[in-house]
DNA sequence: AGAAATGTTGCGCT
DNA sequence: AAGCGCAACATTTC
């Protein structure tokens, strides 16, 4: 559910509540997606101090004093819930209980949200990182015949952009989501890069301002085109919708189609 | 009360 | 063979 800007704000808010605390117990209520044994997870993390929480792509990384990292991925419907002493949330996947009896649970009624111990570092740069620059984007687009929206969404190429923000970014850059990646000229790639950074940065600021303590859910009321309640873009063009499965692409004729 | 929404994986088709 | 489209995940929330 949440996308990069939401997760970025969650990580900041979680830092305020939990960093510096010592983990008393980690409990796994649903181990379908857990790739290590529960005993190894407990051995690695329990008794360790939480040093930092960072967003990496669409994951949240909890860094502990022993050097181990717990990665949480909320997938489509995962939620984070704070609790005291006892976690009564339904559909809990994992729960962290700290020494002061405050805790954090990750829940998901679909059972898709997952936890990883020491997630593998990936080559693909985070959308907000310095490595995500013009040279990189140009290179990636030049070697792909896929439509540009699919490149933005491909977590093996760029980490962190989801369906809704991909539409917002492409509208901001005035590039059609159906443009063929290797046909986009340099000025288009530049615009796209600027829009990636601008749209994500603006969204993060807005979420932080309007939902200063949020650690769950998603905020998308400010979205300009990826928004079923809106009929036209700020510049007056009717918004078109194309469905692919259950996911939708929102766009307008203002966006240039390179093919 | 029925539709809609988000991400990832894996499979089949072109 | 790269790239697309779909199904599955299974319940909540609007």
Instruction: Name the CATH topology of A4-117.
Output: N-terminal domain of MutM-like DNA repair proteins (3.20.190)
Q: What pLDDT, on a 0 to 100 scale, did the predictor assign at position A159?
A: 94
Whole-number Å distance between alpha carbons of A33 and A15: 25
Residue A176 in contact with residue A257, Cβ under 8 Å?
A: yes
Average pLDDT score over residue span A27-38 = 88
Instruction: Report the distance from CA of residue A249 to the C1' of nucleotide B10 in Å, as an integer.
Output: 23
Listed in sequence order, the DSSP H helices in chain A are 4-18, 38-45, 134-142, 148-153, 163-173, 186-210
Specify the CATH class of A134-251 in words: mainly alpha
Q: Which protein residues have Cβ within 7 A of any strand C atom?
A: A 76-77, 90-91, 109-112, 144-147, 150, 244-246
Instruction: Report the distance from CA of residue A77 to the C1' of nucleotide C10 in Å, as an integer.
Output: 11
Nucleotide with smallest C1' distance to residue A245 CA: C6
Residue-wise pLDDT for A174-189, tens only, equals 999 999 999 999 999 9
Whole-number Å distance between alpha carbons of A225 and A238: 9
Instruction: Report the distance from CA of residue A112 to the C1' of nucleotide B12 in Å, as an integer.
Output: 24
Nucleotide with smallest C1' distance to residue A57 CA: B7
Domain boundaries defined on chain A: 4-117, 134-251
Using the CB atom, is residue A112 less than 7 Å from strand B? yes
Residue-wise pLDDT for A194-240, tens only, equals 999 999 999 999 999 999 999 998 888 899 999 888 889 999 999 99
Higher-confidence residue of A32 and A202: namely: A202
Q: What pLDDT, on a 0 to 100 scale, did the predictor assign at position A217?
A: 86
Q: Which nucleotides of C are covered by protein (CB under 7 A)?
A: 2-12
* Angle subtended by helix axes A4-18 and A186-210, to nearest 10: 40
Q: What pLDDT, on a 0 to 100 scale, did the predictor assign at position A126?
A: 95
- Residue A246 above 80 pLDDT? no
* Angle subtended by helix axes A186-210 and A134-142, to nearest 10: 120
Reported as a pLDDT band with limits 50, 70 and 90, residue A1 is: low
Residue A169 in contact with residue A199, Cβ under 8 Å?
A: yes
Residue A79 in contact with residue A106, Cβ under 8 Å?
A: yes
Residue A48 in contact with residue A25, Cβ under 8 Å?
A: no
Instruction: Report the distance from CA of residue A45 to the C1' of nucleotide B1 in Å, as an integer.
Output: 45
Whole-number Å distance between alpha carbons of A139 and A170: 18
């Amino acid at each position: 559910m949440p996308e990069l800007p939401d997760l970025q704000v969650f990580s900041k808010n979680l830092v305020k509540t939990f960093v510096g605390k010592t983990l008393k117990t980690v409990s796994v209520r649903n181990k379908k997606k857990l790739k290590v044994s529960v005993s190894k997870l407990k051995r690695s993390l329990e008794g360790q101090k939480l040093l930092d929480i960072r967003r990496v792509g669409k994951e949240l990384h909890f860094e502990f004093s022993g050097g181990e990292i717990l990665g949480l991925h909320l997938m489509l419907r995962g939620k984070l819930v704070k609790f005291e002493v006892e976690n009564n949330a339904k559909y809990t996947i994992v729960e962290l209980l700290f020494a002061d009896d405050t805790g954090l649970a990750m829940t998901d009624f679909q059972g898709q949200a997952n936890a990883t111990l020491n997630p593998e570092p990936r080559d693909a740069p985070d959308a907000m990182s310095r490595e995500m620059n013009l040279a990189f984007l140009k290179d990636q687009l030049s070697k792909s015949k896929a439509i540009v929206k699919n490149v933005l969404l491909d977590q093996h190429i760029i980490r962190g952009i989801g369906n809704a923000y991909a539409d917002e970014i492409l509208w901001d850059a005035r590039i059609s989501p159906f443009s063929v990646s290797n046909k986009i000229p340099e000025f288009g790639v530049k615009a796209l890069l600027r829009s990636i950074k601008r749209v994500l940065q603006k969204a993060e600021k807005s979420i932080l301002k309007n939902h200063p303590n949020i650690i769950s859910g998603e905020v998308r009321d400010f979205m300009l085109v990826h928004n079923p309640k809106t009929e036209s873009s700020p510049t007056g063009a009717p918004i078109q919708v194309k469905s692919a499965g259950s996911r939708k692409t929102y766009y307008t004729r203002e966006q240039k189609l390179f093919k």
